[in-house]
Each structure stands twice: as C-alpha cells, then as structure tokens.
Amino acid sequence: MGTTVIRSADWVIAWDGAAKRHVYRRHIDVAFGGAALTYVGPRYTGPADVTIDGAERMVMPGLVNVHSHPGHEPAYRGIREEHGVRGMYMTGLFERSQAYALPDRESRAAATEFAYCELLKSGVTSVVDIGAPWDGWAELAARSGLRAFLAPGFASARWKLENEHELKYEWDEKSGRQRFEAALAFVDGLGRHPSGRLSGVLAPMQIDTCSEKLLRDAFAAAAERRLPFTVHIAQGVSEVLEMIRRHGVTPIQWAAQLGILGPGTLLGHAIFIDSHSWVRWWTHRDLALMAEHGSTVAHCPTPFARYGHMLESFGGYLKAGVNMAIGTDTSPHNMLEEIRKASSLARIAARDIHAVTLADLLHAATIGGAAALLREDLGRIAAGAKADLVLIDLACMEMQPARDPLRSLVFHAADRAVREVFVDGHRVLAQGKVLGLDQAGAAARLCEAQQRMMAAVPQRDFRRRSAEDITPLSLPLS
C-alpha cells in the first residue's frame, strides 16, 4: 500500500499523548501508509500516492465497540424493544432467550452481515462480537473490513424457566468444557488469519451460568495467550440474588474471589452492583473492587433503558477509577446513538448535568475500549497508531451549524454524517456505503430467518405460547 494523505482537514480529533486525552486540531494533515498513521500535523511534505481533500470534513478515531451480539440481535427487531417481565424485575432477557433462537447457520450469517454494516455506518472500526460460533464467521468478519475480536461463548449451564418469577438452571458441565475447548481452538486459529485484523476473546457467557472451575480455567487461558476475557455480570437483579444465595456475595465480589478481575477483564454491563438502588446490598464494595483490579465495564445503555434500568451512574464509576468502555449489545448496532443515550442517562441518574462530559464518553468509546482489549494502538489519531479513521461530513444538514462538530455528530447527526471509514488503512465505507458487504441482501435473508424463528417459539417456550402472545404488535391489527 502507498501513502494516503488527508489534506487540511477542517477538524481533527487528535490524541494528546502527554495529557492523555483527545483534543481538537484545525486545518492539519493526516497521513497513513500501510496499516499505520505516519503523520498528524500541519503541512505534510512526504510522499502522497492518494490525496483526500479534508475541506468540510472532521477526521476522528474509529470507535471501539467492546460488547455486541451481531449473530442474533438484529433478528429481535420488532420483538424485544418493549418486551420485559415484571416478575423478573422487568428484564425480558431470560424469557426471550428460552423462547427465541435463530435456527441455523444461514440465519446467523444474515444477522451478522446486517449488524456489521450498521457498525461500520456508525463509525465503528473495532468490535467485540460475542456469540455462538458458526461456520464462516471469521471469513465474514474479514470480508467486512472490521477489526474483529471474535468471542465464541461457552457455559456450564443454561437458564430455565418454569414460571415468570423464578430463574432456574440446567447444568451440563461436560458440554461446557467441550465448548470451552472448541473456543480455545477457534481463537488460537484467528491469529493466523491472513487479514491480520482478527483476534480472539475468551468469553464464558454469564457469571451465573459458569462453574467456578470453568471461569478460572478460561481466565488462565486468556492470561496465557494475552487475550481479553469477557463475561456478562450484574446484568439482572435475578442474577444478583442468585449469586448471593449461592455464595453470600454479589457477582462482582464473587468474580474478585475467583481471581478473574484484571486489566484484560471486560465486565459485560455491571449495572446491578451492591450500591444500585434496585439491589441495595449492604457491602458497598463493588465499585472499589472493579477499580482496584483495573477491570473495564462494557456499558451498553440501550437494552437496559428499554426495561427501565440504568447504570447509577457513569460519572460515579469514573470517579471511583473504573475504566469505562461502550458497546451496543442490541439492535441497532449504532455506537453514536449509544454514546448519546449514555450521556443523557448518566445525567439523569446523577441528577447532575456535569456528572459526565462528551469528552468522557468519547474517551470510553475509543481509549477505554482499546485499553480493555490490551491495545495501545487503537482508538486514537497519533503517529504509530493503527490507521482506523472515520471521516465526518460537516456539510451534512444535521451537522449544521458545526460550531462544535463532535457535539453536532453525537447529539444531532449520528450515522447520517459518517461518510468514509478506514480500517488498517483500507477504505471499508465510501460515501456512507459499506464496500465489502450487502446489507440489503442480508436484510432480506434476515426477514425470512425471523419468521422461522417466530414459528418455532411454541416448541421452545415453557408455556407453549406463540411469538404473538409473548411479544404482541405495538398496535392492534384490525
């Protein structure tokens, strides 16, 4: 690859390494050759094989999405937005997981391709994709152009419902161990992928569905391989109560006792900690434990806001010293909208407009996520970092007036202003169109897959209800 230069960009969100923060710079050049940024500053004088006019453009670092489920969440569109169970503290997670499941590899491929397009269109260049492995997963991730951290899930148990107020478990340690071994083989192979953009994450699925031994072994395997480790934790009140019943401590405290907290540990959600108003456990230690061990919280506000839940609060976690990162978790996989929602909910939870700043949230969506993935070369525009860039159209009507373009992007324009995306120096989105994937084709296949998923609901649901019974339409059909 030759050298590409973005000339005199109106705005650049650059990384100030000394101050350890993002800063605005005006009318500067950004150059990259191969996979890395080579120059960030005024009046670049080196070779230029490709020149991009930076007028009416803001150049920003690619966003780092640390928690997503592309393999199934797009199929829940029109199903999960208002689905929840009062008897399970409003969450619909447990009921939905036992009733709805995509039926086959083709369905997962369609959902994943659709979600990858959404991610790129919202400025994501790195994504942690957590899900059940399927044949062709790595190849699709490579074709998308994303920097993909693939996390094949495994567990010792699955959730089981017999009523609408009690969470139970079906344990199968042998199957969990087999899935763990398969996950190890899968992630070990990713490093050899010719794209150079694929790597693995070890992902025991939930703190409550994994045995102590499986969690310890997975964490040790991640440490040995220098890979990130992620687990869903403190994502529901029912889970918290179950862990207290089993062990006498909260899920976060149980993770600390097992020794699975650390700088490479990504805690999926970690909302219902001991001090949360829906829990109010007596210890008030969870925040300090996460901070002391250097673990990262993957904050995904949208699915929880739909249940009436929220993290209390983002600013409080930051003040406690917890590294915060952002994920999408559900559909739409739109990181810019997720940042916006995180901003509003953090202020509501804290009852303080200054509880969190947009700078805090951009840091979480870039540097915070990169730190969790053990990557100091992602999430920043600085010489030597990876050439993962997003070009924003300042002339987009939703960006006007662009007095503060980051605010215009997050609070007004979102993905409508994203024009170009580069990953590893390769253009993967041009004029808002994903180059390596077919979102329209994926959408058609996804619609058919959703119909088949819904048809199978009565065979899966513990009460043999139909999909229409569990998740009726928002308006009556007459």
Over residues 88-108, the pLDDT tens digits come to: 999 999 999 999 999 899 999
Q: Which CATH number fits domain 63-372: 3.30.70.100, 3.20.20.140, 3.30.420.40, 3.30.2130.10?
A: 3.20.20.140
pLDDT, tens only, 31-75? 999 899 999 999 999 999 999 999 999 999 999 999 999 999 999
Q: Do domains 3-61+382-434 and 63-372 have the same CATH topology?
A: no
Residue type, 375: R
pLDDT, tens only, 131-153? 999 999 999 999 999 999 999 99
Tokens 């997963």 sit at which residue?
A: 137
Please list the residues that pair with 41 across neighbouring strands. Answer: 29
Judged against a pLDDT cut of 80, whether residue 366 lies above it is answered with yes
pLDDT, tens only, 8-22? 999 999 999 999 999
Judged against a pLDDT cut of 80, whether residue 476 lies above it is answered with yes
Q: Where are the domains of the chain?
A: 3-61+382-434, 63-372
What is the rounded average pLDDT for all residues in the chain?
A: 97
Query: Given this model, what pLDDT does residue 387 score?
Result: 98
What confidence category does residue 191 fall into, taking pLDDT thresholds of 50, 70 and 90?
A: confident
Over residues 288-316, the mean pLDDT reads 97
Judged against a pLDDT cut of 90, whether residue 1 lies above it is answered with no
Entry pTM: 0.97
What confidence category does residue 289 fall into, taking pLDDT thresholds of 50, 70 and 90?
A: very high
What confidence category does residue 423 fall into, taking pLDDT thresholds of 50, 70 and 90?
A: very high
Over residues 283-298, the mean pLDDT reads 98
Query: Given this model, what pLDDT does residue 313 score?
Result: 87
A 10 A CB-CB count for 174 gives 9
Query: Given this model, what pLDDT does residue 299 score?
Result: 98
CA atoms within 13 A on the CB side of 451: 5
Query: Given this model, what pLDDT does residue 407 score?
Result: 98
Percent of the chain with pLDDT over 90: 99
pLDDT, tens only, 109-128? 999 999 999 999 999 999 99
Query: Given this model, what pLDDT does residue 34 score?
Result: 87
Over residues 141-168, the mean pLDDT reads 97
- Measured CA to CA in angstroms, residue 453 lies from 91, 137, 159, 431, 446 at distances of 21, 20, 19, 34, 10
- Look up the CATH architecture of domain 3-61+382-434: Roll (2.30)
pLDDT, tens only, 317-341? 999 999 999 999 999 999 999 999 9
Tell me if 334 sits within 8 A of 122, measured CB to CB: yes
Q: Which residue has the higher pLDDT, 204 or 103?
A: 204
State the virtual CA torsion across 353, 359, 360, 366 in degrees, nearest 10: 150
Over residues 410-426, the mean pLDDT reads 98
Cα 229 from chain centre:
14
Query: Given this model, what pLDDT does residue 414 score?
Result: 97
Residue type, 236: G
